Amino acid sequence: MPSTYQNPRYPPAPTPQGAQHRPVVIAGAGLVGLTLALDLARHGVAVTVLDEDDTVSFGSRAICFAKRTLEIFGRLGLGARFTQKGITWKTGRVFHGDREAYAFDLLPEEGHEYPAFVNLQQYYAEEWLVEACLAAGVEIRWKHRITRIAPDAVGATVIVDTPDGGYALHADWLLACDGARSFIRESMGLPFTGQVFRDRFLIADVVIKGDVQFPTERWFWFDPPFHPGQSVLLHKQPDDVWRIDFQLGWDADPEEEKRPEKVIPRVRAMLGEHVPFDLEWVSVYTFRCRRIERFRHGRVIFAGDAAHQVSPFGARGGNAGVQDADNLAWKLAAVLAGRAPEALLDSYDAERIPATDENILNSTRSTDFITPKNEAARGYRDAVLELAAHHAFARPLVNSGRLSRPSTYAASPLNGPAGWEGGAPPGAPAPDAPVLQAGRPDWLLRHLGDGFRLLVFGAPDAALVAALPAGVAAVFVTAEETPGALFDHAGLAASRFAAPRGGAVLIRPDQHVAARFALPDPAAIVSALERALCRYPAEAAA
């Protein structure tokens, strides 16, 4: 029973005639490029996307969409599609040999619209993003391959090859989302720094027929009896597809290992002789934890795998790329609209490079645990796994992939005053919470939109609203039912922000906290907004 998914093919865009100019060109119609294009379009930016293919990707690829990523897609109008189609999970189990070492819960508290993770094949996400981009007016040029790039002081010129001939296109801003083998990165001579680990892993997307006993959880084995001496990861996906990652070792021949005659016996040893299955997709990958030195190079800006690569066991690559897009879109939109200087785009590096380094650090530690480099390291790992089965203190030491967590831009130059202790500080993503609007169940993040918002923990105040700077809207949250305010009936909104009564939080367009105020003084709010838009030196707002 093969997958029911039919990979769509899109008609190649006609080759344009004459001189071509676009304000924003995105190279790559993958997960990151499409997310960035949709976000920019929602901010009113005209976007052209170039892709050398005529279809979305095939195979599971980035399948684990984390809660923060789902919240971003919720802001972009796609969150419900992920939760309706995807496989929701929050429990993981770690096995050592033929026994369970321990289990963990990634989202033990209630009161969130989105779960800890949703498993969904990347091709579904990309297809929905294509539909949303086209509806938003994004121009996607399929079968348009960039063959040369010439950056300049006011943008970049790219030479594009199509089935009907070539043309030149000048972009005021070129956003490189063209993946791990980025042509733009290589053309600009920007090397990766970091590590390539000497190990290989086989991905097998398997369609299992009939009932199977694996629950909807993340299962990770160290040294299982069906694949001795190595590790295995199992995830469930929609359409009865299961993603299995087999550790192979560095000496494995990638092309040989992808042959069905090699893959099928591995899967059969794991599932059992009597479980029927079909192979849908097979690939071999190597752990990489590395990035380019800077993501912004004048008018050329890198995002996703074109800028950084991390090992997939922590479900970080796709999630990190979506968060790159989330960070970059509102800033570039503000610059293009004249609301902020180009210096605002330097904060993309200031925020996303530390986030990338944190991902790389955690992924490197995971990789070192999963693939010990010597007998001493293996002895330590096996001892930790033995202890974890019986002692809680050892469980945090087990590292089968530190799963993706949202980044807090603690040292961002855009952060304003903290206002109080505890809760979500400046730089952190705004936490969600259940609320009631006019008696109807709702969620806080739905009201924060994709512009600047002042979240006020108090009754509506017309004078405050009138005093707010242009571009900032107020959202009021109260502990009692109050006309014109969201009702924090469970107390979770105030609790997660640790907000005092009357306190206020300035939220950025990417729904990260910009500043907090024990009392919402209009002058202080204006100052924090100026800082968040980099409209004058940070020292003046300190």
Report residue 352 as tokens: 């996303």
Contact 304, 51 (CB under 8 A): no
Mapped onto helix, strand or coil, the DSSP state of residue 435 is strand
Total residue length of the chain: 542
Is the pLDDT at 317 greater than 80? The verdict is: no
Report residue 378 as tokens: 């293996």
The reply to whether domains 201-288 and 434-541 share a CATH topology is no
Report residue 419 as tokens: 């206002």
From the list 502, 498, 500, 413, the residue with the least C-alpha distance to 456 is 502
- Map out the domains of the chain as residue ranges: 20-86+108-192+289-365, 201-288, 434-541
pLDDT recorded at residue 264: 96
Mapped onto helix, strand or coil, the DSSP state of residue 394 is helix
**Mean pLDDT rounded to a whole number for the chain:** 92
Is the pLDDT at 368 greater than 90? The verdict is: no
pLDDT digits (tens, 9 = 90+) for 64-80: 899 999 999 999 999 99
CA–CA dist 144, 139 (Å, integer)? 12
Within 335-451, strands assigned E span 434-437, 440-443
Is the pLDDT at 288 greater than 90? The verdict is: no
pLDDT digits (tens, 9 = 90+) for 119-158: 999 999 999 999 999 999 999 999 999 999 999 999 999 9
Q: Give the mean model confidence (pLDDT) for residues 425-454.
A: 96
Is the pLDDT at 282 greater than 70? The verdict is: yes
CA–CA dist 480, 487 (Å, integer)? 6
pLDDT recorded at residue 211: 73
pLDDT > 90: percent of the chain:
75
Q: Which amino acid is at 392?
A: A
Element (H, E) at 137: none
Residue appearing with tokens 């600047």: 452
CATH superfamily of 20-86+108-192+289-365: FAD/NAD(P)-binding domain (3.50.50.60)
pLDDT recorded at residue 316: 55
Is the pLDDT at 4 greater than 90? The verdict is: no
Rounded to two decimals, the pTM is 0.93
Report residue 163 as tokens: 């089935």
Rounded to a whole number of angstroms, the distance between the first and last alpha carbons of the chain is 62
pLDDT digits (tens, 9 = 90+) for 189-226: 999 998 888 889 999 999 988 776 678 888 999 999 99
Q: Residue 216 CA to chain centroid, in angstroms?
A: 22
pLDDT digits (tens, 9 = 90+) for 150-185: 999 999 999 999 999 999 999 999 999 999 999 999
pLDDT digits (tens, 9 = 90+) for 462-496: 999 999 999 999 999 999 999 999 999 999 999 99
pLDDT recorded at residue 69: 95
pLDDT recorded at residue 539: 43
CA–CA dist 451, 332 (Å, integer)? 13
Q: Which CATH architecture has domain 201-288?
A: 2-Layer Sandwich (3.30)
Contact 323, 68 (CB under 8 A): yes
Contact 270, 31 (CB under 8 A): no
Lowest-confidence region among 315-324, 350-359, 419-428: 315-324
Which CATH number is 434-541's, of 3.40.50.800, 3.40.50.450, 3.40.30.120, 2.40.128.20? 3.40.30.120
